[in-house]
Amino acid sequence: MRYFIQGLLAMLVISLSTIVISVVVLLLVIPKLLAPTDAARNMVARFSSTVGELWIGINKFVISRYRGMKWDLELPAGLDRSGRYLVLCNHQSWVDILVLQSCLNRRAPFMRFMLKQQLIWVPFIGLAWWALDFPFLRRYSREELLKNPALREKDLRNAARACEKLKHIPVSMMSFPEGTRFTPAKHDAQNSPYSHLLRPRYGGLGQVLFSFGDGLQEVIDVTINYPDGIPTFWQFISGQVRRISVDAKLRTIDPDLRGVDFRNHPKSRARLKQWVNRLWEEKDQHLERACVSER
């Protein structure tokens, strides 16, 4: 009963704050559209990000009331709230997004991620994402790409246009290279070479690196571990999660990967794969050490 009441109250507060903040962010679209210069528009966009940080702060405050939840955080020094970063993370649960937001809120720039075009119709939050300049992309199906390979390049150019606004304001572009949440069944089906991770995909990362060119400073490489088992969203917001471990490191971006059309340059595509695979090997080793220490 305790967890049910906690979860219900948390859902109520988070839902109300989401509605209110979404309305405020949508209202800020008006001065952004009426702004006479790019500098004025960017100023409104920065303020909108501050409102978004407030929303994350409210959610974080709700979860922080659960005293039995222990956070083990290792965050790098030197994070710049006025910078531009690529955030990479392993993916195990929908909780990962809330954990990332909670750990990096007001330490790094407001976090954004690429979204499917259809998600703009999600009640309240979909339009709020649009107002906050989240990049919305039309994803072409495998069948469409096979019929018309030229759509691959169009998809890349669309991503660059969608990210154009973000080149002029602080941003943390989030990506889950695995593309889906980890499960033992998916791990076995992929015959993954990693003990605790799925095989990383390279398309989304390549889109971000192409779109931003030299605009990104560094990579915030995050590894999330749930020592007591991967939680559900309900378990997290109701306070049933006992321990969360977050390890983040700053990584440099290979200059040869910036602004390159990796789909049409095999050598660049190979470098991108090598770079991501190296990060994934280190991440897998970190998770293995964590598992050994918990035994």
Per-domain residue ranges for the chain? 2-294
Residue of higher predicted confidence among 259 and 222: 222
Closest CA to 110 of 42, 32, 46, 175: 46
Q: Is the model's pLDDT at 155 over the cut of 70?
A: no
Tens of pLDDT, residue by residue over 38-91, are 888 889 999 999 999 999 999 999 888 887 889 999 999 889 999 999 999 999
Residue of higher predicted confidence among 143 and 87: 87
**For residues 141 and 125, what is the distance between their CA atoms, to the nearest angstrom?**
25
Tens of pLDDT, residue by residue over 186-205, are 999 999 999 999 999 888 88
Q: pLDDT band at residue 295, thresholds of 50, 70 and 90?
A: low
Give the model's pLDDT for residue 71: 92
pTM, 2 dp: 0.90
**Residue 19, SS3 per DSSP:** helix
Q: Is the model's pLDDT at 161 over the cut of 90?
A: no
**Residue 108, SS3 per DSSP:** strand
DSSP annotation of 215 reads G
Tens of pLDDT, residue by residue over 206-220, are 888 888 888 899 999
What's the one-letter identity of residue 44? V
